[in-house]
Structure 1
Amino acid sequence: MSAKSQHNNILLAVLGFVSVVVLVAVIGYFTIDRTKEVIQGEVEVSEYRVACKLPGRITDIKVKEGDFVHKGDIVATLAIPEASAQEKVAEATAGATDALSALAEAPTRHETVESAYQLYQQAIAANGIAEKTYGRMQRLYEEGVMTAQKRDEAMAAYEATKAGVEAAKAQWELARNGARQETKEAAKKQAQAARSAIDVVRSILKETVQRATADGEVETIYPKVGELVGLGSPIMSISMVNDIWGTFNVREDQLKNMKVGTLLKVFIPALDKDIEMRVTSLKDQGSYAVWKATKTNGQYDLKTFQVKARPAGKVDGLKPGMSLILK
């Protein structure tokens, strides 16, 4: 074979190799999937828990999981025997203090006043007799026919009846005027305190009827009828379906066109439909969610941000936990 022929064969081989490489590159360019990176999120919803302030026993559960409840609807009832007993004690105490207050406010009975007045008059009469007796004893003592001891005994009796008059007068005035104003005020305050205690117990008893505090869907019911629940233990959780949003974890290099207010096109696989969602917040997820560079040169770490977005309009059938696909 000539040198020229050999050269042509080598040239053809090189051209053939280059053609194959180019053909493979062209085929790869048009066949390799070049779709944009997919960001997957999840539907979330606000929820609250129904709980009792006091320990009690579940007597009835009015709803079941999946039911929609409105604000104020009764969802469960409990029995709290201790609170019921305290209510009876508080009512009895209030009744007694009310009676004492009424007694302090009421005027003294006429018979009591009259009796005290008669005792006062008797004391005055006794004092008059003792005074006259002492006068006679004094004159006889001055005349020398009466001993000093007898005179002193008469004087002591006279002083005693004078003190008796003052005491009887005080009793009569007390009966006539009734209880002191301070006593009446104290009785009134005690009655008010007792009635306030009843209000406190009754407010506690309201906890035996648990109501929904907002519209929502019953998500989970924890205890069964007849079970005891502790202080503040949740009875059920209710999802507020009117307060729904989506959450996405996005690398910071993908935030170029995202900011609060941006409208996103999102696909919901469960509903097989596209919806629009508006970004409401962007939050750094912290150092634990950093995308680490795989090479020491030419790459850098990327932080992850939590992006929250709410549906631009009402979406029927949208439930918590559904996937959201952001392309």
Structure 2
Amino acid sequence: MKTEHKSESNKNMLVAFAITLVVIALVALAGFLFLRPAEPLIEGQADADEVRISSKVPGRIEEIRVSEGQTVRAGDTLGRLSIPDVMAKKAQAEAARAAAEAQDRKAVKGVRSEQVEAAYQMWQKAKAGLEVAEKSYRRIEPLFQEGVITAQKRDEVYANYKAMQATEEAARQQYRMARNGAEKEDREAAAAMVERAQGAVDEVNSYIEESVLISPIDGEVSQIFPLRGELVGTGAPVMNIMDTENIWVSFNVREDLLKDLKMGSVFKAEVPALEGREIELKVTYMKNLGTYAAWKATKTTGQYDIKTFEVRARPTEKIPDLRPGMTVLIKR
């Protein structure tokens, strides 16, 4: 009786021991399956190049022709600035140009015909006076030689003759100058003044062109900063145009996970916003983010600081639904 009871007790102990071993094995298996380190997941974000629209001249927003999210084409008018100060400078520049052109015409045309005629008459008058003075001198000279008149009288007539010669020569040169018009240097100076005035007008016109905001690329209006009627300064951003045809993805990756991410390498990634769609990307840029983004070692023996790199990759083919800001995942 005691033998049977002892045998049954041993049997129960074996069963309990076996159950314990099974439980331990199951717990160990569960720990191996559920407590082992998860596969590293690299998370990135889609982004796109943006062009900042601004003006070289300050002004007031007169008109905004687009809205945020609107698709635009290169050459489309986005808005317009009111620049009354520049318009006033244009009027001044055009007036200066008109004055310079008038001076240039005057230099090219030369002296007026009335002035030429007056100079000619003065020359003729001087010639007539010279002829009279010469005749008087020729009559006096023989009389002086004969002793009829004094030397003083003869000297007075001779001095008048020489003076009339100088007067006639001066009148002749004045007539010649009037007939020939302005000097070559004067004409060149007048032409240069016209060019200078035209340059000022062209400069003002270039500023006026800057008052019209034109899209330089095809894209989408991502952000508009000022409202209609607000003042903007020189170079101040008015809006941003996103280049939706040039989307890329940026990842921040620890250097110990860069094994398969090299310059020019191609890899697969998932986009949760596109129902987990798998896309193909090519690495085009890698840069160390610096010590501020490094993973610091917790021990001084056998460990080192792990640096973080920015990795940019572009889709190998166009993905119409991929938008900036969407999360992109690399599963290892």
Structure 2 length-normalised TM:
0.87
Indicate yes or no: 2:63 matched with 1:60.
yes
Closer/same/farther in 2, CA of residues 19 and 201 from structure 1, 3 Å limit? same
Question: 1:110, CA displacement in angstroms?
Answer: 4.5
Query: Pick from 294, 311, 332: which aligns with 1:307?
Result: 311
Q: List per-residue Cα deviations over 1:238-279 (Å, max 9, x = no partner).
A: 111111110111111211122223332222222223222222
Matches within 5 A, 1:111-150: 111-150=114-153
Name the residue aligned to 1:320: 324
C-alpha distance in 1 between matches for 2:299 and 2:199: 73
Letter in 2 for 1:40: E
Q: Which moved more, 1:100-109 or 1:186-195?
A: 100-109
C-alpha distance in 1 between matches for 2:78 and 2:41: 42
Question: 1:134, CA displacement in angstroms?
Answer: 3.3
Name the residue aligned to 2:26: 23
Name the residue aligned to 1:74: 77
Question: 1:316, CA displacement in angstroms?
Answer: 2.3
Name the residue aligned to 2:285: 281
SS at match of 1:270: helix
Question: 1:91, CA displacement in angstroms?
Answer: 1.4
SS at match of 2:246: strand
SS at match of 1:195: helix
C-alpha distance in 1 between matches for 2:107 and 2:300: 92
Indicate yes or no: 2:303 matched with 1:290.
no
C-alpha distance in 1 between matches for 2:300 and 2:23: 35
Matches within 5 A, 1:167-186: 167-186=170-189
Letter in 2 for 1:157: N
Name the residue aligned to 1:196: 199
Question: 1:114, CA displacement in angstroms?
Answer: 3.5
Q: List per-residue Cα deviations over 1:16-36 (Å, max 9, x = no partner).
A: 765543331022223447641
Name the residue aligned to 2:40: 37
C-alpha distance in 1 between matches for 2:160 and 2:226: 84
C-alpha distance in 2 between matches for 1:151 and 1:215: 99
C-alpha distance in 2 between matches for 1:234 and 1:30: 55
SS at match of 2:206: helix
Name the residue aligned to 1:217: 220
C-alpha distance in 1 between matches for 2:101 and 2:121: 32
Closer/same/farther in 2, CA of residues 33 and 271 from structure 1, 3 Å limit? farther
Q: Which moved more, 1:284-293 or 1:149-158?
A: 149-158
Query: Pick from 199, 222, 245: which aligns with 2:248?
Result: 245
Q: List per-residue Cα deviations over 1:280-301 (Å, max 9, x = no partner).
A: 2222222222212223334332
Question: 1:176, CA displacement in angstroms?
Answer: 2.2
Matches within 5 A, 1:234-273: 234-273=237-276
C-alpha distance in 2 between matches for 1:32 and 1:111: 113
C-alpha distance in 2 between matches for 1:31 and 1:178: 105
Letter in 2 for 1:154: V
C-alpha distance in 1 between matches for 2:34 and 2:56: 65
Indicate yes or no: 2:160 matched with 1:157.
yes
Name the residue aligned to 2:3: none
Name the residue aligned to 1:106: 109
Letter in 2 for 1:292: K
C-alpha distance in 2 between matches for 1:307 and 1:105: 69
Letter in 1 for 2:300: T
Report the number of matched residues.
322
Question: 1:312, CA displacement in angstroms?
Answer: 2.1
Q: List per-residue Cα deviations over 1:153-174 (Å, max 9, x = no partner).
A: 3233222211110011101211
Letter in 1 for 2:312: K
C-alpha distance in 1 between matches for 2:130 and 2:205: 61
Structure 1 length-normalised TM:
0.89
C-alpha distance in 2 between matches for 1:14 and 1:295: 43
